[in-house]
Amino acid sequence: MTAPPKPFNPARSLDHHAERVDLAAAFRWFARLEMHESVANHLSAAVSPDGAKFLINPRGRHFARICASDLLLLDAHDMSTLERPEAPDRTAWYLHAMLHAKLPEARCVMHLHSKYATALACLEDSVLYPIDMNTMRFFGRVALDEEFGGMALSDAEGNRVAGMLAGGATVLLMANHGILVVGASVAQAFDELYYFERAAETLLTCYASGKKLRIVSDEIAALTAEQWRGYGQLAVDHFENIKAILDAEEPAYRH
Ligand SMILES: [Zn+2]
């Protein structure tokens, strides 16, 4: 008779339970949306005021199976983190630890290689032109990182990325790579990433038609982006509905 499998994370914990539940819900929903890369990519949430302590997914766990207690609690200032048996993926550490340490207001950091955002990042012209309300939502808030230099495996790379977001952008489109979003909460970052993916899908669908784009003026795009800011509750409602569906269909994510 074979022994039962050991718990994935030996230091299972339910500290910071609300943040754990929200982050686990985001993983599960991105899996449902096919915006995941199986066990790769990472989402993290700060749990200390200075941002240095944060939750992140463990190495080798599929997005669709992540539970609240699986999430690792790390300290951006603890340089021994990568030596531990339960160390996170190295690219996750270099990107997220530096971002949380440098940008404490970014309570949630989400990095994905989702299909449409990544396709946009692979075009020579990666601008998200304002052509519908979803694309206009991001007008003036997207930073473009055009310096793909391989996987992020150093503090310098994390530092560079943090610098690109220091000017107030909430979205970093990473050329030849994917997307990174920061938000004031898990719900906000999730909503931002969800809508960016839809916006990129619309733009790429227009490109696929071979017809010219109907691009609105900067003034109309800026006005619409400002109007979006009046819909802050949308992100909260969106995420509460997602958790309600998960509670009914796969409540184990909370454990
Ligand atoms: Zn990546």
83 Cα–ligand 1 center, Å: 22
230 Cα–ligand 1 center, Å: 32
pLDDT at 4: 45
pLDDT at 12: 58
pLDDT at 113: 96
112 Cα–ligand 1 center, Å: 6
1 Cα–ligand 1 center, Å: 40
d(CA 127, CA 141): 11
Least confident of 57-61, 119-123, 165-169, 241-245: 165-169
Least confident of 22-31, 70-79, 200-209: 70-79
152 Cα–ligand 1 center, Å: 8
Q: Which residue has the tokens 């207001």?
A: 105
Residue 217 corresponds to which tokens in the numbers above?
Answer: 């003026």
Q: Give all strands (DSSP E) within 90-210, no chain letters.
A: 108-112, 142-145, 171-174, 178-183
pLDDT mean over 68-89: 91
Least confident of 10-14, 104-108, 219-223: 10-14
Assess contact for 55 and 73: CB atoms under 8 A. yes
Q: Is the pLDDT higher at 162 or at 204?
A: 204
Q: How many CB atoms lie within 10 A of CB 18?
A: 11
Q: Is the pLDDT higher at 38 or at 131?
A: 131
Quote the percentage of the chain above a pLDDT of 90. Answer: 77
For the cut 60, the answer to whether the pLDDT of residue 200 exceeds it is yes
140 Cα–ligand 1 center, Å: 23
Mean pLDDT score of the chain, rounded to an integer?
Answer: 91
41 Cα–ligand 1 center, Å: 6
63 Cα–ligand 1 center, Å: 15
pLDDT at 152: 67
pLDDT at 168: 83
pLDDT at 2: 46
pLDDT at 10: 44
Q: Is the pLDDT higher at 224 or at 160?
A: 224
Q: Look up the pTM and report it.
A: 0.92
For the cut 60, the answer to whether the pLDDT of residue 5 exceeds it is no
pLDDT at 6: 42
111 Cα–ligand 1 center, Å: 6
209 Cα–ligand 1 center, Å: 29
Helix (H) or strand (E) holding 68: none
pLDDT mean over 184-212: 98
Assess contact for 191 and 238: CB atoms under 8 A. yes
118 Cα–ligand 1 center, Å: 10
Residues 6+ apart with CB under 8 A from 145: 161, 164, 172, 173, 174, 175, 177
pLDDT mean over 120-143: 97
110 Cα–ligand 1 center, Å: 10
pLDDT at 156: 79
Residue 169 corresponds to which tokens in the numbers above?
Answer: 């952008």
